Structure 1
Amino acid sequence: MNKHYHTVVIGGGCLGAACAFSVQRRLGNKRGKVAIIEKKVLGAGLSSRHSAIVRSANASPMAARMAKIATQYWKNLKPLWGVNIPYEQPGAIWIADNTTGSDSESWATLEQMLQQEGIDFAMLAHRDVMDLSRQALKTVPDEMYYYEPDVLQLDSPQILNAMQTAAKKNRIDVLEHCDVIDFEFTGQGISALHTSQGKFFAEHVINAAGAWSGELFAGIGLSIPVALEPVYAANFLVSVDDIPKGMPIIADYVNQAYFRRWRGSILHMHQPRSRNVKDIARAFSRTAMNPEGANVIYDALSFNVTHQQLDNYLGKVMNRFPKIGKPVYAGGYYSFFDITPDLKFILGADTQFTNLYYCLGAGQALKYAPIFGEIIADLITEGGVILNSIDIDEFSIARFSNNDISRYWQANALKQSSL
């Protein structure tokens, strides 16, 4: 089967879907077709296990600006995707360590930068934290608290349903259970993709394959530094009185845990990405030695939990929510962050192939999906709608052009951000 497409998107997660929807909307029905190539089924990768928290706080001003726009897109998604998604807006309380002056200064700087970007993010007094959490949280003098009211909570199954519905509404060709095997070239561009379902010609190619990217493009001489960092997510049954309805999401950077009330009386939690340069290097080392590659995401062992991990999480819950006592474990699983060496996205055009574009989320895919789709559509269709106010140079793959990742880590070891 040989087909011609204006744009072929590799990867059917939330980023690949968002790119496909935005490009096809710009093209209309007469200027060309868009296809998504997905090795499993649409949304079967990390998108199916996402915490689905949409926030704007980020240490990069440009990333924060994009996140603010993306939050508004999530609230009114229909003009972009043709469907809307239900959401809650519980806001978020950020908890930080106040025992060192440098930590206090970095969070104060973050607060100032976010406010300059028009993002509501401000320090809270302890009594205000207790009021917002309905007395559920423990507060201590050597902690700082910040509040971000415009934080959304979505639901992963509803997102997957919206992606599948939008793919049909936008007349996207979704080629599931389809593996990319090789590429053909014309001049400095990719002209065709050889897949397990035939050959597909493409004017433009979008790489939204996440952690599969490195292996996928290594054969054509591209080094794409994306690795997997495991993250454990757990659910605990608690009393509705202990975790009151409407409690903000808790981003606890003292205990290194996110907490949220989920589906009635469940307390859902997971850990944030590690910002430690050595931990990031270890994640890349594990990825290099993993014979399964990114397919480890589908391993059935990802749904097992160790007693050590469970005890660790129980301790975090009991420390932050003293009213709960000992919560009842209700199931958990390992998911993964796909990360880059600096934890920033890889977004924009390739430096070698003129019609190849990257949309890789670095562990923050879902919250940015709508705006990333619009940015890639701007680049491909030369629309200029979003790129008039957004500069994506800091997320270019060109920053890794020397292919010496270890040197990159050493150079950036002191530049890791708090968010």
Structure 2
Amino acid sequence: MPAGPGAATDAPLPEPEELQAAVDAAVAHPWVGTSVGVVVVDQLTGELVAAASPDVPREPASTAKILTAVAALRTLGPDRTVETAVVQEAPGRIVLVAGGDVMLAAGAGDPTATNGRAGLADLADQTARALALAGTTEVALGVDESVFSGPAVSPGWFPTDVSLGFVAPVTPLQVNIAKTREEPYPPRHADPTLHAAGVFATLLGERGITVTGTERRDAPEGAGRIAAVQSAPVRDIAEYVLRTSDNTVSEALGRLVAVEQGLPGSFEGATRAILAEVERLGIDVTGAALADASGLAAGSLLSSQQLVDVLRVASLDPALRTVVVDLPVAGWEGTLGDRFAEGPGRGLVRAKTGSLTGTTSLAGSVVTVQGRELLFAVVADETPPGGQLGPRRVIDALVQQIAGCGCPLP
């Protein structure tokens, strides 16, 4: 199996003593607090290069999304798409059947996009044509969201997580991830499904089909499908989750994994399904726990070793390798776009960030100045008050040292 981008299979390993000294200094730094786990391994051989408390479960924050992405690719497959359909249960009665696509476009779909690949305008075009052929100009609209179940908001989320737009209620039918305006963290629609259904009803009206009412109801068995649109493939959705760290999309992806495994499409079903899939990869999940599929809720626990184990298994599996390759690139894109602006890590670190109150984490791959690919995870879950800046500076300095910088810690 080839090493990562820019890596050389015959490049020397860094000196373990030097890296261990750097790890020890980072762990002792007051800015990262008193609970820090670190693991650095060779991607090719799995050889441990440096570590600190590697097996202690800690709050992973959004690095947990690595597990969700791996589970989705394993369970659903990279080419799977999510369908949003319209069925006719009787003359004048149609049901909009949600499949779990939370990135529908309000207008036409964009075949080059991930968010907005499937468009409600395209679905309305197909529906209006089918109804017109049957001579129907007036319908009652039902909305079937039975693919997901349980609460739409996790009890482990703070109320401000929703009100500030960090996540939307997890429903299986959403337009643009339920955003009320186009920015990274805008307020979200309180009921994303009914909002999307309202957009669809308006689109039908513009096409000559009057909608007399909208209600939640399950589509009956045997109802004929008259229209359908498909999301971006799972590989693209997983990449979107890793690069943007979008909590809502990650939660939807986790529920789709659960449904595919025959479990409820709920928080509990998703977390059970993700950990079960990871365990099937041969990874020891002793002590691991997931409170949700995004890492936003309090109560998730993963060790640095488990994060690195998942990364290494993914790096060695052609079907999962994109999980490592699609991580944000330091100094360039996604959640690492404004980090590692200088130094040897720039462009050669690919990692998933994690940020919660009291928790700062980073897990991914780094190509050293000698050209060797290493995998690493750093999780600090008892950081002192003061926000993310201090812990990030220590963690980023450590990763720069792993890459070969040798810069002193701040």
TM > 0.5 fold call: no
Select the structure that is richer in strand.
1
Q: Shorter-chain TM-score category?
A: under 0.3
TM-score normalised over the length of structure 2: 0.23
Q: Return the index of the structure with the highest Cα Rg.
A: 2
TM-score normalised over the length of structure 1: 0.22
